[in-house]
Structure formats: structure tokens, C-alpha cells
Amino acid sequence: MTQDLATRTFTTKVPDKPGAFMVATKIIMRHGGNITRVSYNKAVDLHTIFIEVTAPEAALDAIGDQLSTVGYLAEALPESRVVVVNIKIKDEPGGLYPVLKILDKYDVNISYLNSNADNGDYQDFKMGLFMENPDIVKLVLDDVSELYPIDVINYVGDESALDNTVFYIRLGNEIRGMFDLGEEKAMEFIQESNRILQMLQDRGSDPREVFDGVRNLAKFVARYRKENFFADVSHVELTAETTLHVIEPPCGSNTYVLEHGDGLLFVDSGFAVYANEMRVLLNSMFPNFDSRKKTMTVTHADVDHCGLLSVFKDARILLNGRSAESLAKQHSMEHDMREETGIHLGYSRLSRIITDYVPPDPSRFEIIGSAPDPENDGFTHVGTIDFGGLELKVYEGPGGHLPGECAIICDEAKIAFTGDILVNLKGLSPERREFVSIAPFLMTNVDVDPELAKRGRAALRGLLASKGGDFLVCGGHGPTMRL
């Protein structure tokens, strides 16, 4: 009986000497692991090597244990050189003394010290600490944190050599603060950032530009949470009894809600990170929202279209077969259909982390139907969703943007939900336009097969034209448009 394989990235810190990497590979080989990716650049980071390994889970655990035993496994990326920390010390005689004893114990010098009372029981002590040996940092922070709250707020060093370790540290700290990530998630974010960096460096991109792209992605998502969240909302009367509500969030995909009586049909649902904000909005839009009969579907299985599927536990989830398969892979921690395209893996995983995405439970899926393996660039009718007396026909496309992509078309109401096959980029606000420009840079292209996607978009336009045209097109991003 064959064992299920899994993939894990080990962030290793190896000594700068001949044969060091060979030691790590021997450990991996001894446990039957297969190295699928290695990232190392001595010019910018002397010790850190990211090693991606595929093996059974038990073997991966054994590899991690042995790498840790020989001192090669980095539990977290350490700070180095001058580290600026803020320590909240109880405002009482001798409060600072235990901290000074810890610094003396590890032979750490203070480059500067500044304190301010916080008008409470504590003082904020900002310290610049010389830490030439990066391994000392974690020890100092651990010891101090047992006494007082401590935060690393700055790293001061010479960045002219583009020290990747410094960027990883700063990026990890920023993301941890933006999204309240634990250590494990922060390290995963760093590893996926490295994956993107390696890919784009191979294509000639400036590492600074890559890190800025990753940082901007996170900043955009974090910027519009809680009181800063907003959405453009509009309404279209499809029939005397059925209304379409269009919700355009600050970033992520649009959410469309059809309302008929006490029933609501969602087509796509944006980022999971805005779940609380969307609940508030939906409760203001729909009286007795929580008790309404809810049905949800998606145009395709990207995380920015599926965020609320796992949030509304009482909703039916209707999917075509390929989208259901991709979401089921996410649920079982496998690579989904976008992540199987290697150049998209890092961006997809970053998006999952910063948007707090939870894949929906596959046991809730109701399968509409699936197209046969695509042999052309057209769209195949796979099933119909009946809602409010309207027939919403589900057409599966060739999969150029993502396998399983669908267009959901109602001939009677002259409306088409097209996901990211057709979008209105010209209608985007400047801020939204900047946000949607990040993904093509970090993935090199948002389509898994750009040429097939181009032909698929032409085929969908042709399908709408064959139905008489003048459809209200509800795309994944941007305002609705007529086509």
C-alpha cells in the first residue's frame, strides 16, 4: 500500500563551509525525501537555504527532527546587526534591572536607550541592541518576553547588498502585525515570498521590486478592514420579483446576490478576510439575513471568489465538477488547480494566508455537472440553476484562466456572470486598478494558459453575440457593462 505524499519547505541555516549542503541532502535522502526546489543565493544571504521536499508526512517529520538536531533548521528568521525593540517595563523601582541582566548574560551592547511613561503602570523602553550574532536574538527575546511584553520594531543595517534576510525579517514582522499571524503562518508567508522571489529573479526582476509587490498586496488587503471597509453597491430589477444586487469591494472579486422572496443566490463572494464586514453590509441590505434561504455558487475556484463559502454554514453550495475538485484539493491540503501551475503557487498560498481563507467542506457540495475534457476553445452547457423563476445556465469554459471556469447566463433576463473571463478593467477606480495589477506581476500572468484564455474570452463574446447580445455582463472585477 503506497503512502500519501506531502510537500514541505524547510528553512535551513547552514554553516558556510564545504559539504554543508551535502549534510542536509543526506538527511533528506536517508528518509526517502525528494528535493523538489532549492533556493539559495550566497551573494545576498550567506546561510539561509529554502529546501522543498516531497515525502510521506512521517518522513517529513523525521527529516525536520534530524535537521533540527544537527542545528540546520531555522525555527524563525533571526534578527541581526542593530535591532530596535520596544519593551513595556513595569513602572517601579528596579524594573529595568532584570532586562539589563539578560543583556549582560548574552553579552549584548545597547546602542541607544529611550523611555517614555505611558500614563499607566508601565514605561515604554525603546532600545537599540547590537547583535552581531543573529542566533543570540531569539534567546534574548525569549528571555525578556518571559518578564515583559516586547516587540521588534526596526532593523538598522546596511542594505546596500540587498540582504534578503533583512527583507524577510521586516516583511514577516509587518505581516504578522497586519494580520495577527502566529509564528507558523508567518514562516509560511516568508517561504512563499521566497518562492515568488526566486521565480521572478530567474526572470530578471529586481528583488526590491518583488518584495514591494508582496508588501503592497498585503497592505491593500489590510488597509480596508473594519472601519475602513467600503463597497460600491448597486441594484438591478431583473423581473418584478427578482433583484440583482452588485457589491464591489475595495479589493478582491465582486459579489453578486440575486434576491427573490426570502431566497438569496450568491454568485462569487470575495475575500474571506472581509467576512465580518460583509456580514454587517448584508444584514443592512437584507432584513432577517441570517434566516434567509441562501444558495452559493462560483464562477471559478480562486480564493478571492470563494471567501464566504465556508462562512455561511447554512447555505447550499452549487458547483460544477472541476471547481468542486479544485476546492476539495484545497480542503485536503493538496495543490489546487491553480497551484498545480508552479508559477502561481507562491501567490496563491500568500493570498490564502493574508485573507484568512478556509476552504469549504466538500461534503456540502452539490454538483451541477462537468464538461468533458475540453477539445476546443468553446463553452459547454453543463447544467442549470433555477432561481426565482429564472433559468441560469452554467457553461464551463476551456480553462485558460483556471480549469473549471464558468459563465452563468440567463437568456430571459439578459444577464451573464463571467468571473475573470470577462472583466471591466477600464471601469476600475485608480486604487482597484493598482490592486489588480499586483497579481499579474507576482504570478507573471493571472491565466494558467494565456493563449487559451485569450481564445476562451473570444469564444464567450461569440456565445453572447449568438444569443442576441445586449447582455448585462457581471465580471469578476469592475463595474457591470453591456455587451
What tens digit of pLDDT does each residue of 256-267 get?
A: 999 999 999 999
Q: Where are the domains of the chain?
A: 5-69, 76-157, 162-223, 226-482
Q: Share the mean pLDDT of the chain.
A: 87
174: exposed, middle or buried (Cβ count in 10 Å: 0-12, 13-18, 19+): middle
Instruction: Determine the Cα–Cα distance for residues 307 and 354; give it in Å rounded to an integer.
Output: 12
Per-residue pLDDT averaged across 168-183, rounded?
77
pLDDT over 80 at 46, yes or no: no
Task: Using pLDDT thresholds of 50, 70 and 90, give the confidence band for residue 159.
Answer: very low
Averaged pLDDT, 169-175:
72
Is residue 331 within 8 Å of residue 317, measured between CB atoms? no
Comparison of pLDDT for 303 and 43, the residue scoring more: 303
* pLDDT number for residue 162: 29
**pLDDT, average across residues 93-115:** 83
Q: How far apart are the first and last CA of the chain?
A: 55
- Answer whether residue 114 shows pLDDT above 90: no
> Got the DSSP string for 372-427?
PSP-SSS-EEEEEEEETTEEEEEEE---SSSTT-EEEEETTTTEEEEETTS--GGG
- Decide if pLDDT at 136 tops 80: no
Range scoring the smallest mean pLDDT among 14-28, 73-87, 315-329: 73-87
281-293 pLDDT per residue, tens: 999 999 999 999 9
Largest CA distance in the chain: 83
The answer to whether the CB of 251 falls within 8 A of the CB of 380 is no
3-state helix, strand, coil in the chain (%, to 5): 35, 25, 35
Q: State the architecture of 5-69 in CATH terms.
A: 2-Layer Sandwich (3.30)
CB 281: neighbour CB atoms within 10 A?
A: 19
Q: Please provide the CATH number assigned to the domain covering 226-482.
A: 3.60.15.10
* pLDDT score of 157: 47
Q: Is pLDDT at 76 greater than 80 in this prediction?
A: no
Q: Which range among 14-18, 136-140, 476-480 has the greatest average pLDDT?
A: 476-480
Rg of the chain on CA atoms, in Å:
26
Q: What is the pLDDT of residues 355-404, one digit of tens each?
A: 999 999 999 999 998 887 766 778 999 999 999 999 999 999 999 999 99
**Average pLDDT estimate for 35-43:** 70
Question: Residue 341's pLDDT is what?
Answer: 87
Spatial separation of the C-alpha atoms in residues 315 and 307, rounded to whole Å: 13
Q: 118: Cβ–Cβ under 8 A, 6 or more apart, which residues?
A: 88, 124
The per-residue DSSP string of 252-302 comes to S--EEEEEETTEEEEEEE--GGGHHHHHHHHHHHSTTGGGSEEEEE-SS--
pLDDT given at position 268? 98
- C-alpha triplet 448, 450, 454: angle, nearest 5°: 130
pLDDT band for position 418 (cuts 50, 70, 90):
very high
Q: Assign 187 to helix, strand or coil.
A: helix
417: cell is 456572470
Residue 47: is its pLDDT beyond 80?
no
Q: What is the pLDDT of residues 195-252, one digit of tens each?
A: 888 888 778 888 778 888 988 999 999 999 999 999 999 999 999 999 999 999 999 8
* Fold match, 5-69 / 76-157: yes
pTM: 0.75
- With cut-offs at 50, 70 and 90, classify the pLDDT of residue 180: confident
> Taking 60 as the threshold, does the pLDDT of residue 164 lie above it?
no
Assigned CATH topology for domain 76-157? Alpha-Beta Plaits (3.30.70)
Query: Is the pLDDT score of 151 beyond 60?
Result: yes
Residue 80 has pLDDT above 70, yes or no: no
| Cross-strand bridge partners of residue 236 | 244
Point out which residues pair with 409 in neighbouring strands. 393, 416
| 298 band by pLDDT with thresholds 50, 70 and 90 | very high
Which SS3 state, helix, strand or coil, does residue 239 take? coil
Question: Quick check: 155 pLDDT over 60?
Answer: no
Mean pLDDT along residues 2-27: 82
Q: What is the pLDDT of residues 440-456, one digit of tens each?
A: 989 989 999 999 999 99
Give residue 373's pLDDT. 72
Element (H, E) at 323: helix 321-331
pLDDT value for 325: 96
